[in-house]
Amino acid sequence: MIPAAVDMNETDGPGSLYALSAVLMDGDSGRVLYEKEGYTARPNASTTKVMTCILALENGKGDDYVMVSKNAAAQPEVKLGLKEGEQYYLEDLLYSLMLKSHNDTAVAIAEHIGGSVEGFAHMMNEKAKEIGCTSTHFVTSNGLDGADAGGVHETTARDLALIMSYAIKNKTFLHITQTRDYSFYDLSGNRQFSVHNANAFLDMTPDAISGKTGFTGNAGYCYVGACKNEGRTFIIALLGCGWPNNKSYKWKDTMKLLEYGKENFHKEVYWQEPAIPEIQVKDGVSENSTVSDESPAQSEQNLSAGLGKAAFIKGVIQAEDSDKKKEVLLKDSEKVTCNVRLQKSLAAPVKKGQKIGQVTFSIGELVLDDYFVTADRNIVKITYLWCVNKVFHDFFH
């Protein structure tokens, strides 16, 4: 049975979507701008190959020789038609992987990089955690349905969008996925192949910069893509977006989410210079304080009388100039808030650079950034012995 488009009855969203799970993400900050069951794990078919490609780029070299195994050659359609014992350049196989989604190519790459499909899957899962995925489990390198002791092969629309936002930061990944046509030979020069990019969305809008399609019987049609418009980066991830004969549903949903993002979100520098009040330091005095032009006896008496009084320090926010230029996509109705949390008082001694508070920038419950507030100088603890030593030092040295 083919799922129909679901009416979200939204007053603040893109409206009805065909996809069972969908996410629109700010590709620069990783913030989810819109989601429909975006945190529900589902099979994701060949969108898996985004992870396969980025791992190959990070752990291999383009001129690596990749040997085709019996296992790789035996993979089901869609396939390039690799034969056991053949050799190819890794770079050439990456075009086969991303432009035409060949399953045999994906396994050959996995075995070359990870030693086996299982070893490569372990690398995929570790990378997913590193990127920030929370509900992803990879079993196969090509996205075909599979299961192991860790669970079934699946991800969420949110995690998939996060993987794509990571991948497009790699220039070689972008170049490969933007290539329309590519030809290559096996290393023997006996067989020639030509592949054409199956990402039709590249021709639907000038905003499209990368993408990967996918389909299995369990996953349905899936898509993850990246678009740029007026300095904004939008990532769109769709899972379960129709079944045959509804191949075009994913393009309709993708365009709807892209237009929603373009119309409703603007880029804004969110830094606000917070007011940091002075903090009291009990029984303290600045390390560089000096004794006045009184007699040693008078100064000792006055300093002793000052025991129990408070000194004050200023807080310094540990942020770089680049931090103050960070931007985030916001709706017109949204506002970034700045929250300052400081210790109300401190007891001497206090060291310069000591953490005394925190500044947080957030949108609602979503934290964008945290910065420590540190003491601007040293404060020493006043004791009677300190008073005597200070007086002696200032008058006789």
**Catalytic (active-site) positions:** 46, 49, 101
Q: What would the two tokens of residue 314 be? A: 């200023």
The backbone torsions φ and ψ at residue 105, rounded to the nearest 5 degrees and listed phi first, read: -60, -45
Contact present, 222 and 47 (Cβ < 8 Å): yes
Q: What would the two tokens of residue 146 be? A: 């599979």
Contact present, 52 and 104 (Cβ < 8 Å): no
Contact present, 342 and 279 (Cβ < 8 Å): yes
Q: What would the two tokens of residue 209 be? A: 């910069």
Q: Is 210 helix (H, G, I), strand (E, B) or coil?
A: strand
The backbone torsions φ and ψ at residue 18, rounded to the nearest 5 degrees and listed phi first, read: -75, -35
Rounded Cα distance, 193 and 184, in Å: 5
CB count within 10 Å of CB 320 equals 8
Cα Rg of the chain, angstroms: 30
Q: What would the two tokens of residue 386 be? A: 């300190």
Rounded Cα distance, 93 and 300, in Å: 82
Mention every residue, 6+ apart, whose C-beta is less than 8 A from residue 352.
374, 375, 376, 377, 378
How many residues does the structure list for the chain? 397
Contact present, 286 and 306 (Cβ < 8 Å): no
Cα-Cα-Cα-Cα dihedral sign, residues 364, 369, 372, 376 = negative
DSSP assignment of 107-168 equals: HHHHHHHHSSHHHHHHHHHHHHHHHT-SS-B---SS----EETTEESBB-HHHHHHHHHHHT
Contact present, 236 and 207 (Cβ < 8 Å): no
Rounded Cα distance, 172 and 178, in Å: 10
